[in-house]
Amino acid sequence: MSQEKENKDLTFLKSVFSSLGRSQDQTVDEVKNELKDHGVDVDAAMERLQSKVKESSALAKKQGLDDVREKRLRETAEISTLKERYAILNREEILGEIHNLVSGMGAQVALSFRDLDSNETEDLRSMLIDIQLLLNK
């Protein structure tokens, strides 16, 4: 930011705060006129302010979307890594991994995984990946 622009903005802010500090018993038009007397173009200032608010809002929204995209990409990469790691395991190894992971989660969680033998191997593999993802969060 140039020094001239910075000085102009500083002067503007000083004028606004000075006028607003004395504006308690004034009407909006009186405050506007006082600001104009101090060299502040109220309409232009309001347009700039609204523009900055919209710009900030758009940047915040973009940042939020970027954060979600990054999280999704990380999770997708993590799922791929887990799929590769668990693809080589046989049924017994998958069951062992599930039991090892849920045993430290408490009795209620372990109880939910007590009858796993009736599930297909691929379902067990998916379950193992889901459990690992939950533990990694």
66-123 pLDDT, tens digit per residue, is: 999 998 888 888 888 989 999 999 999 998 888 888 777 765 565 566 677 778 889 8
Give CB contacts under 8 A, 24+ apart, made by 32-39: 39/11, 39/15
- Considering only residues 67 and 13, tell me which one the structure prediction assigns the higher pLDDT: 67
Which residues are CB-contacts of 99 (< 8 A; sequence separation ≥ 6)? 113
- Single pTM value for the model: 0.45
Question: Nearest Cα to 109, choosing from 80, 130, 83, 82?
Answer: 130
Cα distance between residue 64 and residue 58, in whole Å:
10
Cα angle 104, 108, 112; round to 5: 95
Cα Rg for the chain, rounded, in angstroms?
31
pLDDT of 12 strictly over 60: yes
Burial of 128 (0-12, 13-18, 19+ CB in 10 A): buried
Note whether 116 and 95 are within 8 A (CB). yes
Q: In this predicted structure, what is the pLDDT of residue 90?
A: 93
- Considering only residues 16 and 27, tell me which one the structure prediction assigns the higher pLDDT: 27
DSSP state of 119: S
